[in-house]
């Protein structure tokens, strides 16, 4: 089977490896240089669903040394001053052996390792352009060129798109009083704030705020921005130093009405882009890869390739739609300050605090999807 992939970000490159391992011949189209692909300052939360995919294609042993594991995930409702802690014992039995709720990946280290990995796979051909000269040469064409996909625009695929009235601010911060094996998700009326461990006292802060508040905080000197963070972080946890320039980007919701168009298949953020709350983005994209690989490697569909795009769309519908609703509800839950929701919020945190079954259900959903 001949497959073209447009875009070699973390989704496109994992798709290329996975499909090549399944026996396909893959042409990977990418207009950016390897240096441009590597030099992006981002961090990602990786769950066990992603770990299983990376293990299957042989990447896990290559990148595990660059990942930062965390054993505790503390979810805090800032308005209620309530906390729920998810930990390794809330995972499925087979996942507890890894002694981690999840891992934090640094983009440049992970991408460098993946680019090195594909250079040794014979049936992946990396082509330095994003334009396919002859689409008739391919059985399937996978668009993994991101939320601003030119492929999706060219094919005029309809999508539900809206911008949240928020921006996301990211910064690497040295923090005192926080364990190196824990992560935070703080829900407050300005928007969710995540604190992800990067090793030692270094953490990635991902802060969602209204455009007005976020623009104001970005204009502050670093010392005053640290003062702001100290008002949000729990007592005893103190931000010390910002070691890079805080960056910001708008937050949007994008969901394609269809995940395919003819023999084109939309993968990852080309078909769905959601709010970063809960760290679902990359994990959801890699579950797309797993679903597509399962179809391509199945003997049933090898002689009926024209069915694969439709089957892929159907197979991904429930997981993607469920995560889209879940993340959007989390954002609206976080930002709600209405008294109507006060008692339900207390009840939710009470149940999660007292019931391991409820914690296991939530953590399994956030870890493995639907």
pLDDT for the residue numbered 48: 93
What confidence tier does 370 reach under pLDDT thresholds 50, 70, 90?
confident
The pLDDT-based confidence of 342 (bands split at 50, 70, 90) is: confident
Contact 29, 140 (CB under 8 A): no
For residue 345, give the 3-state DSSP assignment: helix
Q: Parallel, antiparallel, or unpaired for β 159-176 and 238-242? A: antiparallel
pLDDT at 366: 84
Q: What is the pTM of this model?
A: 0.91
Average pLDDT over residues 1-26: 94
- Summarize pLDDT for 294-325 with one digit per residue, the tens: 999 988 887 788 899 999 999 999 999 999 99
Contact present, 70 and 103 (Cβ < 8 Å): yes
DSSP string for 20-40: HHTT-EEEEE--S-HHHHH--
Whether 108 shows a pLDDT value over 80: the answer reads: yes
Dump pLDDT digits (tens) for 241-300: 999 888 888 999 999 999 999 999 999 999 999 988 888 889 999 999 999 999 999 888
Is the per-residue pLDDT at 338 higher than 70? no
């Amino acid at each position: 089977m001949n497959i073209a992939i447009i875009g070699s970000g973390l989704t496109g490159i994992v798709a290329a490896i996975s499909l090549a391992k399944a026996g396909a011949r893959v042409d990977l189209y990418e207009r950016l240089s390897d240096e441009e692909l590597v030099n992006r300052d981002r961090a990602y939360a990786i769950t066990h669903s992603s770990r299983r995919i990376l293990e299957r294609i042989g990447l896990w042993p290559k990148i595990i040394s660059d990942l930062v594991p965390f054993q505790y995930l503390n979810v805090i409702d800032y308005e209620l001053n309530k906390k729920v802690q998810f930990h390794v014992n809330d995972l499925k039995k087979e996942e507890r052996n890894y002694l981690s709720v999840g891992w934090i990946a640094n983009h440049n280290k992970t991408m460098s390792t993946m680019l090195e990995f594909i250079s040794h796979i014979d049936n992946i051909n990396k082509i330095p352009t994003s334009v396919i000269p002859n689409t008739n040469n391919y059985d399937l064409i996978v668009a993994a060129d991101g939320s601003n996909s030119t492929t999706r625009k060219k094919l005029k695929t309809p999508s539900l798109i809206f911008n949240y009235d928020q921006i996301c601010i990211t910064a690497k911060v040295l923090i005192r009083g926080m364990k190196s094996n824990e992560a935070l998700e703080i829900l407050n009326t300005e928007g969710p704030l995540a604190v992800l461990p990067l090793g030692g006292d270094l953490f990635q802060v991902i802060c969602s705020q209204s455009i007005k508040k976020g623009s104001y905080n970005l204009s502050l000197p670093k010392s005053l921005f640290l003062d702001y963070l100290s008002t949000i972080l729990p007592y005893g946890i103190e931000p010390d130093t910002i070691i890079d320039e805080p960056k910001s980007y708008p937050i949007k919701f994008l969901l394609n009405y269809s995940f395919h168009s003819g023999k084109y298949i939309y993968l990852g953020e080309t078909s769905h882009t959601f709010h970063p709350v809960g760290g679902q983005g990359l994990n959801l994209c890699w579950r797309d890869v797993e679903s597509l690989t399962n179809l391509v490697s199945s003997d049933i569909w090898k002689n009926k390739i024209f069915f694969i795009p439709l089957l892929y769309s159907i197979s991904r519908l429930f997981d993607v739609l469920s995560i889209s609703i879940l993340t959007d509800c989390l954002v609206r839950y976080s930002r709600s300050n209405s008294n109507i929701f006060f008692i339900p919020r207390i009840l939710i945190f009470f149940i999660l605090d007292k019931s391991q079954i409820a914690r296991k259900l939530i953590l399994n959903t956030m870890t493995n999807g639907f």
